[in-house]
Chain A
Amino acid sequence: MELLNRYLEAVRKHLPWQRQDDIVAELRANLEAQLEEKEAALGRPLTQVEAEAWLKQLGSPMQMAAPYQVQQYLIGPALFPVYRNVMKIALSWCTIIYCIASATALIVKTPHFIDFLHILTNVPVILLTTAAWVTLVFAALEYTTTHYRVKLPGITQPSPAWSPGSLPPIDSDAMPGGKRPSYAKSVAELIFGYLFLIWLLLIPRYPYLLMGPGADYLQSLPYRLAPVWVPAYWCIVALNVVQVGWLAHNLFRGRWQKPQRIAHLFYKAFGMVPIILLLTAKDHATVLLKNPALDQVRLGATLDGINRSINWSMALICAIAAFQLVWGITKLILNAYRKRATLAG
């Protein structure tokens, strides 16, 4: 039957090349026996339409051949949980390192819009490259464990060193019904928050509250803080006023035990404002000379070094704060999604 021959030749193309002839010969014998029986029952050969319907019922040549191929996962179920964890860690570290490196590069030279654009457009490329390398390593590991299971029996087994005692403690904030802050703790937070605010407001008038005896020494130095510190300082004050106000509000409304996840995210976001103000200071100058006309030649290089160090530190803090903020938002979204799925399910 010509149609059956064409079908078997099409199946052959998808079979493992070492066993093609053998498998096709066996399929031919089985299918021809089936065909003969059908024709004997009908008392005539199958028509073209009937033959097509029969072969269609067997499945496409690719479907027929697929089960003869060696069953190989790219990353199988035994390795997949490890792969997912490693991927998360790799992508997180990659993002952190890239943010720090980019911030450093921006500080070293005067940044332009095109530099920011270049950094942003590079993010997907770097993340995809990292993901590709992790996947490649795990695919190789999967291949090795599948093909050398007898020689390497322990490769996907859990480590015998694992102990339930080493499990991380439960995050009471994330756990429904977990430990909530007590009234005494909330009152203490409010009192100390208020005292901290007063201390913060007194610092400009009495610098020794911050520096101690070092305040007099700093006064004698030929350096002073740039004007950009003023709005940054008031941002910190404003943030603390909001925090104390919110604490007092929750306490008097009897809501101190309610989770404050969104408020904490707001504090984190608002806390980045003074850092960004300092980072975007004109010419990255957060410290200036008291008498530039006199000291520029002598102390200019030292001043540049001080400003560069401050900028670098601020960029690092900003990157960490941004990462924490993104992480917090992601957790909030995931919790909301989980809660909704639980309610729906």
Chain B
Amino acid sequence: MTIAENLFENLRLELRRGCLTLAVLAQLRQERYGYTLRKALADDGLVIDESTLYPLLRRLETQGLLASEWREEEKRNKRFYRLTPDGEQMFAQLLAEWHAINASVTATIQSTINTSL
């Protein structure tokens, strides 16, 4: 990997990091277990490594944003996650913040494009 590619990869990961939490919270308004969550995110174009997603679920649970329970499904025990009421509230706040950031960045990019033209 060249220096430029490495730099891009680091910046890309930095850009994605905050968005991943938001996407996971959005998906977990509906109860899911780890693998189906990963698939749902991938289907929406957000591919996440196992070693990133599963520990993230644990952290969000420790922070009180997710609740989990072990349950049998298709003859196998699986750990299902869903948003807690605190998680719902946090998701709403983060979503509003994300919309605001998105609008600001889009406006900034648009204005610089117009200026350069």
Contacts and interface: CB of A to CB of B under 8 A. Distances in A.
Contact of B50 (A25, A29, A32, A58): A58
A67 B59 CA distance: 10
B51 A33 contact: no
Residue among B35, B36, B52, B79 with max Cβ neighbours from chain A (10 Å) = B35
A201 interface: no
Interface in A11-54: 23, 25-27, 29-34
Contacts of A66: 51
Contacts of A246: none
B54 A29 contact: no
A26 B69 CA distance: 11
A22 to B, nearest CB: 8
A330 interface: no
A131 interface: no
A142 B51 CA distance: 26
A29 B77 CA distance: 7
Given A58-B51, A67-B51, A67-B55, A30 B34 contact: yes
Contacts of A64: 50-51
A147 to B, nearest CB: 14
A29 B51 contact: no
A59 interface: yes
Chain B interface mostly = helix
A129 interface: no
B78 interface: yes
Contacts of B5: none
B14 to A, nearest CB: 14
B73 to A, nearest CB: 9
A64 B36 CA distance: 19
Given A59-B49, A59-B51, A63-B51, A30 B33 contact: yes
Chain A interface mostly = helix
Contacts of A32: 76
Contacts of A25: 70, 77, 79
Size class of B's contact patch? Answer: 10 to 19
Contacts of A34: 35
A34 to B, nearest CB: 6
Interface in B44-97: 49-52, 54-56, 58, 70, 76-79
Given A67-B55, A68-B55, A31 B77 contact: no
Contacts of B77: 25, 29
Nearest to A29: B78
Contact of A33 (B35, B49, B52, B55): B35
B108 to A, nearest CB: 25
Interface in A92-134: none
A168 B36 CA distance: 59
A16 to B, nearest CB: 10
Interface in B1-55: 33-36, 38, 49-52, 54-55
Contacts of A33: 33, 35-36, 76, 78
A27 B76 contact: no
B57 to A, nearest CB: 9
Nearest to B56: A67
B76 A30 contact: no
A105 to B, nearest CB: 51
A227 to B, nearest CB: 65
Contacts of B70: 25
A27 B50 CA distance: 9
Interface of B: 33-36, 38, 49-52, 54-56, 58, 70, 76-79
Given A58-B51, A59-B49, A68-B58, 13 more contacts: A25-B70, A26-B54, A29-B33, A29-B35, A29-B76, A30-B38, A30-B78, A33-B33, A33-B35, A58-B49, A59-B50, A67-B52, A68-B55
In the A-B complex, the 10 residue pairs with the smallest Cβ-Cβ separation, listed nearest first, are A67-B55, A30-B34, A30-B35, A33-B35, A26-B79, A64-B51, A29-B78, A68-B55, A59-B51, A34-B35
26 contacts: A23-B54, A25-B77, A25-B79, A26-B34, A27-B50, A27-B54, A29-B33, A29-B35, A29-B79, A30-B35, A30-B50, A30-B78, A33-B33, A33-B36, A33-B76, A58-B51, A59-B49, A59-B51, A64-B50, A66-B51, A67-B51, A67-B52, A67-B55, A67-B56, A68-B55, A68-B58
